[in-house]
Amino acid sequence: MTTPLAQAATTAAATANTGATAWAARIEHVSKSFPGPAGQQLVLDDISLDIAPGEFITLLGASGCGKSTLLNLVAGLDRPTAGSVTTDGRPALMFQEHALFPWLTAGRNIELALRLRGVPRGRRRERAEELLELVRLKGVHGKRVHELSGGMRQRVALARALAQDSRLLLMDEPFAALDAITRDVLHDELTRVWAETGVSVLFVTHNVREAVRLAQRVVLLSSRPGRIARQWTVGIPQPRRIEDAAVAKLSAEITEELRGEIRRHGRH
């Protein structure tokens, strides 16, 4: 039996942002270098990747392969040394740390994002309440950040990102600091929110099972310099569990590929 979530997840990419561009982001032949003691150090080398409207992509690779660097380029926080990055509107960004303002309540953190977007004052409270309900935090509008658990803070951060009304959500290991149970719950919540909103997601992680648990497509970067080593289309129906046999099988295949990339890097 097909669940409503599975149906929504299957059709999200096809139905989101109709009338917009054919992609949420286009990365074309992007390279990035940084100055180092021995001169310019190449971190990313000739990356090309299109993110379709409503598509969920996880970006995977060993530590230092350039995942976060690529995310920053897509976010517009840095410029590529070569190539180009084009997005359909301004992306929203969510970090490993929630980055909420502790002197504001949960609701006021979201309302600030709405104000910066130009939402009229009379609509902000109502919209913040709607977004909190979307991430299943109804009733916490007036709570301060220190009153919230780690998982709740990340839900507020997700609601604040969604308040920017972006077609593309960039997530840099947002659940890495959470315990396994909380992380699993937030996997469910993120999948549900993605399916309900049709937003495109580019999600950086170093956790292979998390990558497979969430994504429609997994993109593996080689060790530095980061290049696209391989991509997998994940045909496992949603909702998925991280312990599902199909998730474990594909995770094992990707892990072996990742180990190979690490071994090749170690020989240089």
The DSSP code for 105 is B
Per the structure block, which two tokens stand in for 29? 């032949």
Domain 4-91+166-266 has CATH 1.10.340.30: no
CA–centroid distance for 44 within its chain: 19
| Domain layout of the chain by residue ranges | 4-91+166-266, 100-165
Within 10 angstroms of residue 253's Cβ, the number of other Cβ atoms is 13
Provide the pLDDT confidence category of residue 17 given band limits of 50, 70 and 90. very low
Contact call for residues 176 and 141 (beta carbons, < 8 A): no
Contact call for residues 61 and 21 (beta carbons, < 8 A): no
pLDDT one-digit tens code per residue, 106-141: 999 999 999 998 999 889 999 999 999 999 999 999
Provide the pLDDT confidence category of residue 212 given band limits of 50, 70 and 90. very high
Peptide bond into 225 cis (omega under 30): yes
User: Is pLDDT at 6 greater than 50 in this prediction?
Assistant: no
Q: Which residues in 107-207 belong to E strands, given as ranges?
A: 168-172, 200-205
Predicted local confidence at residue 263, as pLDDT: 81
Provide the pLDDT confidence category of residue 20 given band limits of 50, 70 and 90. low
CA distance 227 to 208: 18
